[in-house]
Amino acid sequence: MAKMVSPAGEMDMTFLGVGGEKDQMVVRSKFGAWDAKIYFSPDELVHLLKLMLNSSLVLFLLRFPFILIGSKLSWQKKT
C-alpha cells in the first residue's frame, strides 16, 4: 500500500489496476475509503514519461533489485 502525504494529511492509497479507455490511460485506485479513477490524456502521459527521465529515478531503478532483496530478507528474519 502506498502513502500519499500532503498538507491536508496522510492517506493510504492502493492501486487496483491500470488500463485504457478510449484515448486515455486509466489508473484505478483506492484513496482511504474512496474508490478513484485517475485519467491520463496522451499529452499528460507524455509529460509524465518526461518527468520520469531524471537521474534520481534512474538511480533508484538501478538500486531497486537490491532494495527488494533486502526488504525480503528482513521480512523473513522477522517471521
- pLDDT, tens only, 24-48: 999 999 987 889 999 999 999 999 9
- pLDDT for the residue 59: 95
Distances (CA, A) of 19 to 23, 25, 63, 71: 11, 6, 28, 29
> What average pLDDT does the segment 54-59 reach?
94
Give the per-residue pLDDT at 79.
Answer: 59
Q: What percent of the chain has pLDDT over 90?
A: 66
Q: What is the pLDDT of residue 75?
A: 73
In which residue are the cell numbers 486515455 written? 24
